[in-house]
Structure 1
């Protein structure tokens, strides 16, 4: 592990001369695309001694994950030519300036992908982190040319292809018969028509993500639901998705992850999910679904449903009150992650209810919560801090709150619980599901460790006494 920016361009290319020829996985957080090209190709960069020259400096790479300044035709072509054993290619860029023709991806670059035919996973994403920009030099022809070489692909993730229409995306669905994971982000021209005849394909999708595809409606989800093996469905910021879509989702008995942030669903729609889906669902996010009220929890935890749920995001729903948390605590569901950020009507009563919550198995006070996000909850006062002393919330490892609430109390809590990661500036806790491009990724939370046990047994009383004095 090292900082690529500290290495001179030509020196970085020489660095790979000492790399093992058996290296199979390479992941770099950030590297300029020019350095990628020079590192892979022995014909570029400064002259190298003749004995060191070989066809490729790292020929055995099978998985390559890079974050670059620009994804370019030259870089993609060099990767395809030099890394003939590649089965996993993940490229992400985040331009700070609008790319010019020489520093961008075009139809020609897409045509060079997967020349060896071994690629199983492909991810090409243009991030909007610094600039609202897209792959403006790629259209339907580019995806048609790429799809011809991707018949064995199992996972495809494309983000920022604003000029690609249903024609290009349909080529992927109809020519990649082995596809199991499909993730499309910022598909500004993607409509319901791309899924119109999906039932005529042999696809058996298990993971579908359609984030920021605002032209999609309920009809697209109805068609997608023909894939009865779906386990992950991400429809975040698809603003035209509503209750009719949830009726179709209600038939997916294997669904484990459902992300509906910013959609147009209501309390009634959640009832449509039915007990079949809620019995299998592990992660549910309904963040910023502003039509929801306290009744949504009754729909989720009705009878025996919702018992498998481990991660629940209720953030930025202005109509939620403490009654939601009281009902959640009463259900005794062993949730490990609960996000309630920016819910203005959540108060100290919710903290009290969660602290007193016991699950059916284990008997821990504070249930099994490992992550609790209360940032921006205006009803939380300094009085809530007394509920974070022993024996409450013994497994809590991530805690989000408004830092200006009371700095002294925050500092005292941090001293008394050194294993508690506290976020006081609004940052997201841990890794949000789905952002890792795998909705099933979970934190490996430890049980109460030895030092934490000492604190719980009394070693941390001093700081808690300070908190109470405050």
Structure 2
């Protein structure tokens, strides 16, 4: 890992000339599209015969993941023409303004993808983080021309293609028969018609993400889930998805991860999951579903269910209170991750309940939680930190709290539990970075408490008093 900005542009390609030919994977957090072009273009000396032109740098690269300022036709052409072994291409840009023609991707550029026919995984995403920019110069024709070369593709991710309609997206489904991962982000023209005749295809989709596709409705989801092999389904920020969609999703017997943040579901809608897919789900995110209340917990987890859930996101649910967390604790679900950030009604009581929870009669206090996000919860005070120290939550490795918490208290807790990551600026806990890993279950490599940690905890036993002293000195209003 290094900072690309440390290099003068004309020196950057020369640095990579010493890279070994055996290098097969390259990921860069940020690099300009001009530098990419210069890096991958083979140098040509004037008046030199074509036989003596140096081969391209990094000839063995198979996987290339780049975050750039602009994805352009020139960059795509350079990558395609100079990397012959490429099987995995992941490009993401974040324009600070609407790109001009020379600095944009068009139909001419996108049809050059996979000229060598070896590409298996393709991701082209225009991020909306800085400026609401889209790929406005790529339409259905460009997708059609690209799809002709992508019949062997296994994974496709397209983000920000605002001129592509159902015709273009259906072309992918009907031309790429081997695809099993499909992700479409910010598809304002994607409707239910994309999946109208999906049952007539030979597709075996296992991972589908349709984020920020607001024209998608319950009917389209019903058509999609007729493909019963789905194990990961991401419908975040699809505002028109409601209870009827959950009724059909509940029939997916192999579903492991479901993300339906910001949808129009209700407590009663979640009861459909408890009768079907909830028995196989490992990860569930219902963040920002405004209609949900404490009753959603009782609908999700009935007393007789044998639940495999390990990751639960209840963040940004205004009507979720301590009563809902009490219901969750009573069900003794062995969660590894619990997120409930930005919940105004969650208070110290929830922390006490979770700290006192036992998954089984011989288990430890604080259940099996390894990640707990309490950022900006309305009722959390310094009192909670009495329950976040030993012996409670013995397996906790990630903790999210508000920045208003006294730094002395946080420092004392860090000394008390040196293996715990405490985050207090609102960052998402445990995330692996900019690349979207919503398909990956168990992203975090949690270490069990070993003899070294037990010894360190024994050495730091006096830090309990430090926490108590820091709490006494802190502002009680924080």
Establish whether TM, by shorter chain, passes 0.5.
yes
* TM-aligned CA distance change 1:409 to 1:202, over 3 Å: same
- Residue 45 of structure 1 deviates from its aligned partner by 9.9
Matched, 1:364 2:359: no
Tell me: CA distance 1:119–1:465, structure 2 relative to 1, closer, same or farther (3 Å).
same
In structure 2, relative to structure 1, the CA distance for the partners of 1:366 and 1:432 (3 Å cut) is farther
Residue in 2 that maps onto 1:443: 444
After superposition, residues 149-188 of structure 1 pair within 5 angstroms as 149-188=149-188
Provide the residue aligned with 1:312 in structure 2.
Answer: 312
**How many angstroms apart in 2 are the aligned matches of 1:67 and 1:236?**
23
Correspondence for 2:259: 259
For 2:240 and 2:388, locate their aligned partners in 1 and report how far apart those are by CA, in whole Å: 40
Alpha carbons 1:351, 1:387 under 8 Å: kept: yes
Is structure 2 residue 323 aligned with structure 1 residue 323? yes
What displacement does 1:450 show? Answer: 3.9
* Alignment-derived partner of residue 476 in structure 2: none
Secondary structure of the residue aligned to 1:169 is: helix
Alignment check: 8 A CA contact 1:366 1:393 kept: yes
1:431 paired residue number: 431
Shift of 1:299: 1.6
2:475 corresponds in structure 1 to: none
The question of 1:237 aligning with 2:229 is answered no
- Listed as ranges, the matches of 1:363-402 within 5 Å are 363-402=363-402
CA distance in 2, matches of 1:319, 1:437: 26
Is the aligned partner of 1:214 residue 2:223? no
State the distance in 2 between where 1:246 and 1:283 align.
15
Distance 1:225 1:361, change over 3 A: farther
Deviation per residue, 1:88-137 (Å, 9 max, x gap) = 00001111122110010000001100001111000000011211100011
2 CA distance for matches of 1:175 and 1:362? Answer: 55
Aligned counterparts of 2:372 and 2:45: Cα–Cα separation in 1? 50
Cα offset for 1:389? 2.0
CA distance in 2 between counterparts of 1:228 and 1:449 reads: 42
- What is the TM-score when the length of structure 2 is the normalising length? 0.94
CA offset at residue 390 of structure 1?
1.4
Deviation per CA, 1:70-103: give whole Å up to 9, x if none.
1000110111111111110000111112211001
Structure 2 counterparts to residues 186-205 of structure 1, below 5 A:
186-205=186-205
Q: What is the CA-CA distance between 1:376 and the residue it aligns to?
A: 1.1
Q: What is the alpha-carbon distance in structure 2 between the residues aligned to residue 45 and residue 15 of structure 1?
A: 18
CA offsets, 1:302-333, max 9 Å, x none? Answer: 13436211110001111111111112111111
Shift of 1:455: 4.5
Quote the residue 1:279 is aligned against.
279
For residues 154 and 382 of structure 1, do their structure 2 counterparts lie closer, same or farther at Cα, with a shift above 3 Å needed? same
Q: CA deviation at 1:374?
A: 0.7
- The match for 1:117 is 117
The answer on whether the counterparts of 1:300 and 1:306 sit within 8 Å (CA) in structure 2 is no
Q: How does 1:138-153 map to 2 (within 5 A)?
A: 138-153=138-153
Superposition RMSD on alpha carbons, in Å? 2.1
Deviations 1:272-313 (A, max 9, x none): 123331111000000000100111111211134362111100
- Could you say what secondary structure the match of 1:216 adopts? coil
Structure 1 SS opposite 2:208: strand
2:345 alignment partner, SS class: coil
Task: Determine the C-alpha separation between the residues in 2 that align with 1:50 and 1:210.
Answer: 47
Q: Is the 8 A contact 1:17 1:52 kept in 2?
A: no
2:62 maps to: 62
The structural deviation recorded for 1:44 is 6.6
> How many positions carry a matched residue from both structures?
469
Determine the structure 1 residue equivalent to 2:100: 100
1:160/1:361 CA distance change after superposition, 3 Å:
farther
Stretches of structure 2 that go unaligned for 5 or more consecutive residues are 473-478
Contact 2:416 / 2:457 at 8 angstroms: preserved in 1? no
Contact 1:313 1:338 in 2 (8 A): yes
Cross-structure match for 1:77: 77
Distance 1:48 1:413, change over 3 A: farther
Q: TM-score, normalised by structure 1?
A: 0.96
* Deviation string, structure 1 residues 430-460 (Cα, Å, up to 9, x no partner): 1179932534252011111444313543x32
After TM superposition, give the deviation of residue 36 of structure 1 in Å: 0.9
Aligned partners of 2:383, 2:444: CA distance in 1, in Å?
Answer: 30
Deviation per residue, 1:25-67 (Å, 9 max, x gap): 1111111111111111114799999998433221111111111
Deviations 1:126-169 (A, max 9, x none): 01121110001111111000001000000000000011111111
Report Cα offsets for 1:400-434 as digits up to 9, x if no partner. 11121333222211222122111112111111799
